[in-house]
Amino acid sequence: MPEHCLPQVQAVAMRVTALDLSGVPLPGTDTMIVSNALVSLAVSPVYTDGDEIEEKGANGGVCVNYRSADTFKRLDVTITLCTPDPYLEAALSGGDVLESAGLVGFAAPALGIVTGAGVSIELWALRIDNGALDVDSPYAWHVYPRVQNLRLGDYTHQNGALLPVFSGQAVENPNWFDGPSNDWPATSDRVHQWIETASYPTPVCGYTELVAS
């Protein structure tokens, strides 16, 4: 019988897909990247605390005591890469891929207001059962259907690896539907969701064409 409550470890692949202004995955030859360059994807939920109302009576005792509900606003997302992948760097920052006579590199976005419709980010983690991959569904497929306001993070040139960092805000996207490959099997209208799966896309250095459905 399948086990649905298993540990999740590591991340074997990440897929980043450009979105149009309405949040639909954008078809094209340079709009989707499947990578294994991920070091970490850190997520911080952001809430606004509810108002607290308190009044004291003339005798010094509290006569009104109320706290309204908190508001869940978004997820702050920070992505760290282990390799300076120019295609992924451009997708995660709004920068550009540089190409000249077979040589490839990356250019930071132009200075000014951060623009763009954002991207969707998917990743696949391992599901472990008694020290080995689960036989039925060895992967957990995580979906952040819209990550926007993407920008460059801190990085250091040093006696060590250059680790590019990017950050943005994850929000809900009701127009992600069943994803760029039309195979997400459940609802996708929350800021984050995951489901069990038996496979994941093959990472490559470069773009994976997204054909219009």
Rounded distance between C-alpha atoms, residue 203 and residue 191, angstroms: 24
C-alpha distances (whole Å) from 157 to each of 31, 81, 84, 108, 161 are 29, 14, 12, 16, 8
Residue 68: name the closest of 50, 55, 54 by CA. Answer: 50
- Chain segment 26-62, per-residue pLDDT in tens: 999 999 999 999 999 999 999 999 999 999 999 999 9
Beta bridge partners of 193: 143
- Chain segment 56-103, per-residue pLDDT in tens: 999 999 999 999 999 999 999 999 999 999 999 999 999 999 999 999
What's the mean pLDDT in 4-32?
96
In what helix (H) or strand (E) does residue 7 lie, and over which residues does it extend? none
Rounded distance between C-alpha atoms, residue 133 and residue 130, angstroms: 8
**Which of 3-7, 114-118, 188-192 comes out lowest in average pLDDT?**
114-118
In what helix (H) or strand (E) does residue 101 lie, and over which residues does it extend? none
Instruction: Assess contact for 42 and 77: CB atoms under 8 A.
Output: yes
What confidence score (pLDDT) does residue 118 get?
95
Residue 116 has pLDDT above 90, yes or no: no
Dihedral (Cα; 110, 34, 78, 89), 10-degree rounding: -20
Instruction: Assess contact for 114 and 165: CB atoms under 8 A.
Output: no
- Chain segment 160-208, per-residue pLDDT in tens: 999 999 999 999 999 999 999 999 999 999 999 999 999 999 999 999 9
The alpha-helical segments, DSSP class H, found in the chain are 86-93
Residue 115 has pLDDT above 90, yes or no: no
Spell out where 36-100 has E strands: 38-48, 52-56, 62-67, 71-81, 96-100
118 token code pair: 């954002």
**Count, residues in the chain:** 213
pLDDT range class, residue 2, cuts 50, 70, 90: confident
124 token code pair: 């696949």
What's the mean pLDDT in 129-149?
96
pTM, entire model: 0.94
pLDDT range class, residue 1, cuts 50, 70, 90: confident
Residue 213 has pLDDT above 90, yes or no: no
Rounded distance between C-alpha atoms, residue 32 and residue 120, angstroms: 10
Rounded distance between C-alpha atoms, residue 188 and residue 176, angstroms: 7
User: Which pairing describes strands 119-129 and 132-133: parallel, antiparallel, or unpaired?
Assistant: antiparallel
